A and B are shown apart, each in its own frame.
Chain A
Amino acid sequence: MTRCILHVDLNNFYASVECLYRPELADKPVAVSGDIEARHGIILAKNQLAKQAGVATGEAIWQAKTKCPDLVLVPPDFKKYLRFSRLARRIYADYTDQIEAFGIDENWLDVTGSVRLFGSGPAIADEIRRRVRGELGVTVSVGVSFNKIFAKLGSDLKKPDATTVITEENFRSRVWPLPVGELLYVGRATRRKLENRGIYTIGDLAKRDLRPLVLLLGQWGETLWHFANGRDEAPVRKTGEVSAIKSIGNSTTAPRDLATLADAKIILYVLAESVAARLRAHGLRCQTVAVSLRDKELASFERQIRLLEPTAASRDIARAAIDLVAANWKSGRPLRSLGVRGGDLVTETGRLQLDLFDEQKAAASSLETAVDDIRRRFGQNSIQRCVMLTDCRLSGFNPKDDHVIHPVSFFR
C-alpha cells in the first residue's frame, strides 16, 4: 500500500521565533548567534532577509557581518525554541501518532491511517501550515510523499510556508532533475565522488547500474541508489518510541584555549560526569571510551580505548579519557575543543565480570548514585569535584542539561 508521509520543517526556526517576539525586527536581517565571549560565535539561524544577503548557518559572526553589515544579532533562547517545538508537535499529534523528530525543527508524520478522517495528504499539510501560522506565529514548509526521503526533499523545495507534493507518478520529473547533493546523506565528499563519475543529478544516480555504485561507495552506494529510485521503506517511528542508543557523548568548545593537561582535565571531568550521568539515566554502561580533540589550528582527531569492564562511573570514564589525551596529545598545540564519548554500550542489568582487586568499585558506584540524587534534588552545582573549583570559567558549563540540540541519524 502506498504510504502518505509528511515532512514538516519549521522555517528558519530560531530566527522566526525571535522575530515573532520582537516585531520591530520584522524588516531587518536577523541572525541568532552563539556567545562570542564563550567563543561559540557562529551563526545558528537567520531569517529570510539575512539569507538573501548571503548569511549562512555555521559561519563565524565576522564573516556574516562582512556580507551583511546591518545584520542584527540576537542571543539564542533554547528554552523558548523547545517550547515552540513541543507546541508544534502537539498540533501534529492531532493528525497522527506516528511522529518522528529529526532535530528540533523537523518531523516526519505518517498520516496513511488518517487520510479518511482528515482528507488527503496535501489537505492535511495545508491545514497544519494554517494552524502553525495562526497558533504559533511561525511558518512551516511541508513535503508530502510516499517515503521519508522524498518527503524531506519536498519540504526543502519550496520555502517558506508551502506544500510540495511528490508522488509515485511525478517523482521522475520533479526529483530527478535536482542536483545529487540535495539527496539526504549526500554530503560534500560523496557529491564530489559522484560528480567525478559524471553523476550530477538524482536522476543520473537512479539510472546508473547498481554495481559500480557499490564499488565506488560501498554499502552507501546501494542505499543512495534506492533512495534516488524512491525505494525507501524506513518507517516513521511512533511518538516516544526510543531507538537503541549506540553511544553517548558530549563535547564542548572551551571558553579559552587549553594549554596544559591540567586545563584539559577540568573539561574532561565535566564531560565525563555528563556522559556517566546520561549512561546511568538510560540504564547503560559503556565498554569503550573515545575522546575527540581539536586544537586551535582546527586540526582534529579522535582516539578510543577499550575498558577492562563496562562502566557508568565518571571516575572510570574520566580516567580513561585523561589517559587517552595524555598519550595522544603530542603536538602540544593548545586545544580549542574536547569531546568524550562512551561507546559499545551494554545494559546495566547484563552479566558482569567482577574485578577481584578493585575494592573501591562498589563504593564508587554508590557514590555516583548518591551524587546523581543530590544533583537531582539540589541542582547540578550543589556538589562537584574539587578540580572544578580550580578554574570555574572552564568548568562552568553543564553539558547534560544545556545539551545542545542536534539532528539525529536517519539510520537508527
Chain B
Amino acid sequence: MGKILVTVKAAHDTLGNTRPLSIVWHDGREFAIDKVTDVRMAASLKAGGQGLRYTCRVCGKEIRLFCDEGIWFIEG
C-alpha cells in the first residue's frame, strides 16, 4: 500500500515537455506505457506526494504515474 517508487524511461522534447515511455519495476521487468490520457498537476493523498500526474494505460490497465520534483512514483 502507499507509494511505490519506480524508474521511468522518458522522452524529453525541445519544448521541455516530458513523456514517460516505460516503467521499470524494481525486479527489472519493464512495462511499456501504451498511452498517456491525461497530464495535470495533482496531489496524491493515497501515496503522499504532489507533482505532475500522468494518467497512463499500461497492459490494458489505467495507472496514475506521478513526477514529484524528478522522483517518479505510482499509487500502490
The residues of A with any CB-CB pair to B shorter than 8 Å are 20-23, 83-84, 87, 133-138
Contact = CB atoms under 8 A, between A and B. Distances in A.
Given A21-B48, A23-B45, A135-B41, 20 more contacts: A20-B43, A20-B45, A20-B48, A20-B50, A21-B49, A22-B48, A23-B47, A83-B69, A84-B50, A133-B43, A134-B42, A135-B40, A135-B42, A135-B43, A135-B50, A136-B43, A136-B50, A137-B42, A137-B43, A137-B50
B41 A23 contact: no
B43 A23 contact: no
5 contacts: A23-B45, A23-B46, A84-B50, A134-B43, A135-B42
Nearest to A132: B43
A38 B7 CA distance: 37
Contacts of A136: 41, 43, 50
B48 A23 contact: yes
A135 B49 CA distance: 11
Majority secondary structure, A binding face: helix
Contacts of B50: 20, 84, 135-137
A32 to B, nearest CB: 16
A210 B51 CA distance: 52
Query: Which of A21, A87, A133, A138 neighbours the largest number of chain B CB atoms within 10 Å of its CB?
Result: A21
Contacts of B55: none
Contacts of B46: 23
B42 A23 contact: no
A310 B18 CA distance: 51
Range class of the B interface residue count: 10 to 19
A389 B43 CA distance: 45
A136 B42 CA distance: 6
Interface in B15-53: 40-50
Contacts of B69: 83
Nearest to A21: B48
B42 to A, nearest CB: 6
Contacts of A87: 41
Interface in B57-74: 69
Contacts of A84: 50
A134 B47 CA distance: 14
Contacts of A135: 40-43, 50
A21 B48 CA distance: 4
A132 B69 CA distance: 18
A105 to B, nearest CB: 16
Contacts of B43: 20, 133-138
B17 to A, nearest CB: 17
Nearest to A19: B48
Nearest to A23: B48
A212 to B, nearest CB: 52
Nearest to A25: B48
Contacts of B2: 23
A133 B50 CA distance: 11
A137 B41 contact: no
A137 B44 contact: yes
B5 to A, nearest CB: 13
B16 to A, nearest CB: 16
B38 to A, nearest CB: 13
Nearest to A83: B69
Contacts of B45: 20, 23, 137
A71 to B, nearest CB: 20
Contacts of A21: 48-49
A7 B44 CA distance: 26
A396 B66 CA distance: 37
A20 B40 contact: no
Contacts of B47: 23
A135 B40 CA distance: 8
Contacts of A134: 42-43
A360 B46 CA distance: 62
A37 to B, nearest CB: 27
Contacts of B49: 20-21
Contacts of A22: 48
A83 B68 CA distance: 11
Q: Which 6 A-B pairs have CB atoms at the shortest separation, nearest pair first?
A: A137-B43, A135-B41, A23-B48, A21-B48, A137-B50, A136-B43
